[in-house]
Amino acid sequence: MKYSFKIINNDSYTRTAAIAALALSLVCGFIVIGILFLAKGINPFYAVWKIFSGSFGSSYGIKETVTKSIPLIMTAAGLTVVFRGKFWNIGSEGQLLLGAAAATWVALKIGQSLPSPLVIFCMIIFAAIFGALWAIVPAFLRARLSINEVISTLMFNYIAAELVSFLVIGPWKGTTKYGYPYTDDIPASVMLGHLPDSRIHYFTLILAVILSIIIFYMLFRTKFGYEIRVTGENREAAKYAGINFLKTTLLMAAISGAMAGLAGFGEIAGIHLHLTSPEIISSGYGFTAIIVAWLGKLNPLLTIISGFFFAGILVGGDAIKLSLGLPAATVQVFNGTILVFLIIGDFFLKHRVTLIKIRQ
C-alpha cells in the first residue's frame, strides 16, 4: 500500500469560505513575518503592534494611511485589468514615474500662462498618456513578438527610474533648489488641495475611486471586459471567438499604464510638488499595488479596501523603520510573505485535497 494526495477542483466555494481563506492567509503571513522579526532579535508582537498602531491607531496615522492608499488604489485598479487578461505588467513603478515626470513637465511649461483647471486637466491627460505609452510598448512586444512582458516591463522600470534621476540632476534641475536633485516647484495654482490637517489630496482620491468603479463596470458589464477575461482564461478560445489579441492586449496595457501614470500625477500635484529622485516619488507603490490587486481578488471594488489595508502596512512600515531602525525595503518582506500566503490560501480554497491509498 502506498499513500498519495489526490487533488480535486472545487469551484463551488462559498463567500464565507473565501473570506475565511483570506483571513487565514493573512494570519499565517503575519506569523511568518513575526518569526522573521524574531530571528532578527525584534519582538514580533511589538513590531506588528507598532505597525498597526502607527497606521490605524491615531488620527495622524489614519490620515497618512488614506494618503498612501491613493496611488495604491489607482494603480491596483489598473492592474486588475491586465492581470485578468494574464498580461503580467510588473512595470507600474516605471509607468507611475513617467506619469509623474509628464505631469511635472506640463505644470512647469504652461502652469503660469493658462488657467489652472485647464493646466490640471492637461497634467492628467499627459500623465495618463505617458504612463500608458510605457505599458503599450511591452504590450506590443508581447503581442507581436511573444517577448515575455515580465522582463520587458521590469527593464522599463529600471529605465524610467534612471531617466527620472537623469532629468532631476541634469536638464530639469531646478533653478531655485541649490544642491538638491529637484525640479522647480509646480505653480501654487495647480497644487491639489488637502483635507484639513492632512496630506490627503482628495481630488485624486475621488478620481481613484470613480475610476475603480468605472473599471469594475467595464470588466464585468461590457463586451470589452468580457474579451479581456476570455483572453486571460483561454487564449485559444479567445482566438476562435474572434477576439483580436493584439488590440485587446494593447488596450488593457494602456488602461493599466494610464492608471499608474495618474497615480504619478497625484504624487506630484498632491504631495511632492516637484519631480525628484525616483525612490522618493514612489517608494515601491508599483510593486505593492501588485499585492493589493491580488489581495483584492482582481476586483477593482475590493482593491479599494485592500489598497487602504496595504497603505496601512506602508505607514506602519515607516513607523517601525523609525522606532526600530529598519531599512525601507523591509516592506518587501511583508509584500512577499503575504503574497505567498495569499496564493497558498487560494489553492486550498479552490481545491480539495484528500489522502488516498494506491494499490501497487
Site track 61-90 with other proteins (rule: CB under 8 A), x = hit: ---------------------------x-x
Tell me if 337 contacts other proteins by CB under 8 A: yes
The conformation of residue 111, written as its DSSP 8-state character, comes to: T
How big is the chain by its Cα radius of gyration, in Å?
22
* By CB under 8 A, residue 158 contacts other proteins: yes
What's the min distance (Å) between Cβ of 141 and other proteins? Answer: 7
Question: Out of 151, 206, 237, 246, which residue is the one contacting other proteins (CB under 8 A)?
Answer: 151
What is the closest distance, in whole angstroms, from the C-beta atom of residue 99 to other proteins in the complex?
Answer: 19
Q: Which x/- pattern, by CB under 8 A, does the window 282-321 give for other proteins? A: -----x--x---x---------------------------
Distance between CA atoms of residues 125 and 75, nearest Å = 16
Residue closer to other proteins (CB basis): 105 or 287: 287
Nearest-CA neighbor of 269 among 137, 56, 74, 80?
74
The CA-based angle 184-189-193, given to 5 degrees, is 105
Residue pair 128/99 in contact by the 8 Å Cβ criterion: yes
Minimal distance, residue 233 CB to other proteins, in Å: 12
Closer residue to other proteins, CB minimum distance, 95 or 204: 95
Burial class (CB in 10 A: 0-12, 13-18, 19+), 288: buried
For residue 20, the minimal CB distance to other proteins (Å) is 18
Site for other proteins in 121-150 (CB under 8 A): 141, 145-148, 150
Closest CA to 126 of 97, 144, 105: 105
- Say which DSSP state 9 is in: E
Among 30, 182, 309, 334, binds other proteins (CB under 8 A): 334
Type and span of the H or E element at 212: helix 202-221
Cell numbers placing 200: 490627503
Alpha-carbon separation of residue 237 from 102, 144, 271 (angstroms): 39, 19, 45
Query: Alpha-carbon torsion 247, 245, 227, 94, what sign?
Result: negative
Dist CA 357 CA 96 (whole Å) = 53
Question: What H or E segment, with its residue span, contains residue 354?
Answer: strand 351-358
Among 19, 118, 329, 352, binds other proteins (CB under 8 A): 329
Nearer to other proteins, 151 or 195 (CB): 151
How far is 342 from 347, CA to CA, in rounded Å?
A: 9
Binding of other proteins at residue 206 (CB under 8 A)? no
Residue 26 binds other proteins (CB under 8 A): no
Q: How far is the CB of 332 from other proteins (least distance, A)?
A: 3
Which one of the spans 98-106, 125-133, 209-217, 329-337 is the region binding other proteins (CB under 8 A)? 329-337
Kindly determine how many residues on this chain lie close enough to bind other proteins according to the rule CB under 8 A. Answer: 48
Would you count residue 352 as binding other proteins (CB under 8 A)? no
Grid coordinates given for 132: 500608458
Contact range with other proteins by CB under 8 A, out of 19-27, 226-234, 235-243, 339-347: 339-347
Contact indicator for 67, 202 with CB cutoff of 8 Å: no
Provide the binding-site residues for other proteins, judged by CB under 8 A.
4, 6-7, 36, 40, 88, 90, 141, 145-148, 150-152, 154-156, 158-159, 162-163, 165-166, 169-170, 287, 290, 294, 325-327, 329-337, 339-340, 343-344, 346-347, 351
